[in-house]
């Protein structure tokens, strides 16, 4: 009879240590490992010493003892930085693993790396799960949104562990489920982060526009009223707190550099859109804004611009309508990219279930996500939902007004403009890309298809 532990966690950084506490609190017997060299020396001892008296977690600094402490099949969760370190740790573990053991990568790994690891480990008789985890350290400690993909057999064995570690939706069901084959879990987490990029940029642009004629407290109050009207989200709620945070030096926000950074998942999402032929213009605008914010060379250029127009306020309801319009477009693009990947990679992803997983424990949880998750009918894209189309159509004039006023004030609103132009192009009966096809045929003899659809052949014209 097995007397070992149910779960082994490698990596006692912020996320790994909090997941270990989460697991122990939920009755999962846990072993933890961390290397004991350099700046990490003493990490395991310090973690074990910091445990509450009622927590029983076994700590190790050597693989053989760590592995020996686990039940068979061994379930090991890697919480190490994405990239080559994951491959290094897997190679180090292989001599200690047996057929049927389960390796879970819980970091923000690139989905194509997870595809490769899944295939390689399957050949060795091991189950690999690439699991996207959202919610930060707070979610890791008290319940996160989990997106496991890869080996379904491995998932079925570890399903109870995922269930205990995850947050719960409004019906008390765990915010996790098997996402799909290979790297599907990490792909969906990547797009979660892409949507997150767009959401953060839209909130930042809204704040920056309102700050032209409102103070921080007033903006925070307006955002609070939006939350009370059914438009709340985790990101909007923390923004309210950030805007009002003061100390003896004044508002904390005023002392923070405007040079933004990221960990790469936003760029991966935009690249995936390009590779799969799916438009993610709001994510791209958000990424471009971060890149521009950190480009000291460009930003130091002295460019003379015309004086701004006089400031006059736009009604708060119009700004809210514009904000909701842009958020819907951001979500529409994100889910469409997931659907495109599902089709191209044969993953059979369930968009409605993914939205349910994102209703709690993750960074993009919101009332909008709740509405998407608990709509009665199944949907393959947001435009399947009549209320989404109706809302976009009815809010179009509000976002147009906001963009026009921001232009008059020489104030950048890149994400808003991207959302607005996407919807206009989507509803335009004739796009000017027929001219582009003519240009390509003129200089490169690339050919074009006929607008009447009379055949599917490529045609050429003797332009010169």
Q: What sign does the dihedral 350-352-353-354 (CA atoms) show?
A: positive
CA distance 161 to 157: 9
pLDDT of residue 401: 94
In sequence order, the β-bridge partners of residue 269 are none
How do strand 127-134 and strand 145-150 relate by DSSP bridges?
Answer: antiparallel
pLDDT of residue 104: 98
CA distance 300 to 137: 37
Buried-exposed string 290-324: b where 16+ CB fall within 10 A, e elsewhere: beeeeeeeeeeeeeeeeeeeeeeebeeebbbbbbb
CB 319 within 8 Å of CB 214 = no
pLDDT of residue 265: 86
Q: What is the per-residue pLDDT across 75-101, written as a single tens digit (0 to 9) for each?
A: 999 999 999 999 999 999 999 999 999
CA distance 409 to 402: 11
Residues with active-site annotation: 189, 196
Is the pTM higher than 0.85? The answer reads yes
pLDDT of residue 1: 37
CB 22 within 8 Å of CB 176 = no
Q: What is the per-residue pLDDT across 185-206, written as a single tens digit (0 to 9) for each?
A: 999 999 999 999 999 999 999 9
CA distance 1 to 41: 35
CB 448 within 8 Å of CB 459 = yes
Low-confidence ranges of the chain (pLDDT < 50): 1
| Burial classification of residue 101, based on how many CB atoms lie within 10 Å of its CB (0-12 exposed, 13-18 middle, 19 or more buried) | buried
């Amino acid at each position: 009879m097995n007397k070992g532990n149910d779960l082994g966690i490698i990596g006692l950084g912020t996320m790994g240590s909090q997941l270990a506490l989460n697991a122990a609190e939920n009755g999962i017997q846990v072993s933890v490992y961390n290397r004991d060299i350099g700046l990490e020396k003493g990490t395991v001892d310090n973690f074990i010493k910091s445990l509450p008296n009622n927590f029983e977690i076994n700590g190790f600094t050597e693989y053989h003892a760590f592995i020996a402490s686990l039940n068979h099949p061994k379930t090991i969760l890697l919480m190490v930085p994405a990239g080559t370190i994951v491959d290094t740790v897997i190679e180090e573990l292989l001599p200690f693993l047996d057929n049927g053991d389960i390796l879970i990568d819980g970091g923000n790994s690139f989905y194509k790396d997870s595809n490769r690891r899944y295939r390689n480990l399957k050949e060795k008789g091991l189950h690999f799960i690439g699991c996207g985890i959202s919610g930060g350290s707070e979610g890791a400690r008290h319940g996160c949104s989990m997106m496991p993909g890869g080996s379904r057999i491995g998932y079925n064995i570890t399903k109870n562990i995922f269930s205990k570690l995850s947050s719960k939706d409004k019906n008390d069901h765990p915010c996790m489920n098997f996402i799909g084959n290979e790297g599907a879990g990490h792909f969906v987490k990547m797009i979660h982060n892409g949507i997150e990029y767009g959401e953060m940029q839209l909130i930042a642009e809204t704040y920056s526009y309102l700050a032209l004629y409102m103070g921080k407290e007033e903006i925070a109050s307006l955002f609070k009223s939006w939350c009370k009207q059914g438009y709340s989200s985790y990101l909007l709620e923390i923004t309210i707190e950030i805007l009002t945070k003061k100390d003896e030096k004044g508002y904390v926000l005023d002392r923070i550099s405007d040079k933004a950074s990221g960990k790469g998942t936003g760029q991966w999402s935009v690249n995936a859109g390009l590779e799969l032929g799916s438009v993610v213009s709001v994510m791209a605008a958000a990424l471009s804004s971060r890149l521009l914010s950190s480009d000291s060379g460009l930003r130091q250029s002295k460019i003379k611009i015309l004086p701004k127009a006089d400031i006059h306020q736009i009604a708060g309801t119009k700004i809210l309508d514009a904000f909701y319009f842009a958020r819907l477009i951001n979500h529409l693009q994100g889910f469409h990219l997931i659907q495109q990947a599902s089709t191209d990679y044969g993953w059979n992803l369930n968009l409605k279930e993914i939205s349910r997983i994102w209703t709690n424990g993750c960074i993009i949880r919101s009332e909008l996500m709740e509405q998407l998750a608990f709509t009665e009918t199944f949907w393959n894209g947001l435009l399947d939902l009549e209320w989404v189309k109706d809302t976009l159509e009815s809010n179009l004039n509000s976002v147009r007004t906001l963009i026009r006023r921001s232009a008059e004030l020489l104030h950048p609103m890149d994400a808003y403009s991207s959302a607005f132009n996407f919807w206009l192009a989507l509803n335009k009966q004739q796009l000017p890309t027929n001219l582009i096809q003519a240009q390509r045929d003129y200089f490169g003899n690339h050919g074009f298809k006929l607008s009447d659809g009379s055949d599917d052949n490529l045609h050429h014209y003797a332009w010169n």
